[in-house]
Structure 1
Amino acid sequence: MLKWALIFAVVALLCGLFGFTGAESVFATIAKILFGIAIVVFLIFLVLALSLARR
């Protein structure tokens, strides 16, 4: 998922470079959402791993 967030971020940068500001904002928003989801999933797995390691 983090891979897709980076891809959308690069596409947003390219759209901004070429002047497609509408598409840039859409791709940037998608990248932010995917990055946020990736962080949440990472934190969930981190908590699960730490709680299972204590047993």
Structure 2
Amino acid sequence: MLLRNIDYATKSFPKPHGYSKKLFLASEELFIKTKYTYNLLLPGFKSYLFHRRLST
């Protein structure tokens, strides 16, 4: 859904050639980085909450 919206937004007004592809790749990269960071931080955060719950 989001990608379709991005595609529609880039088609609705003229842009330099290849701009939409660059935008798409950048958003993909950002998504992957965010997901990677989230997966990296989540286990630590969960264990932190778990230990905090035990200590109280």
Give me the TM-score of the superposition, normalised by structure 2.
0.58
- Distance in 2 of aligned mates of 1:41 and 1:51: 16
Residue number in structure 2 paired with 1:22: 18
Superposed counterparts of 1:11-50, under 5 Å: 13=7, 14-15=9-10, 17=11, 18=13, 20=15, 22-50=18-46
Whole-angstrom distance in 2 between the partners of 1:29 and 1:43: 21
Higher-Rg member (1/2): 2
Paired residues in the alignment total 45
Q: Deviations over 1:7-43 (max 9, x none)?
A: xx84xx322x235451000000000000000000111
The 3-state SS of whatever aligns with 1:36 is helix
Pairwise CA distance, 1:54: 5.0
Higher relative contact order (CA 8 A, sep 6+): 1
Structure with the bigger percentage of helix: 1
Flag structure 1 segments of 5+ consecutive residues without an equivalent. 1-5
Gaps of 5+ in 2: 52-56
Ranges of 4+ aligned residues in structure 1 off by more than 6 Å: none
Identity of aligned residues (%): 16
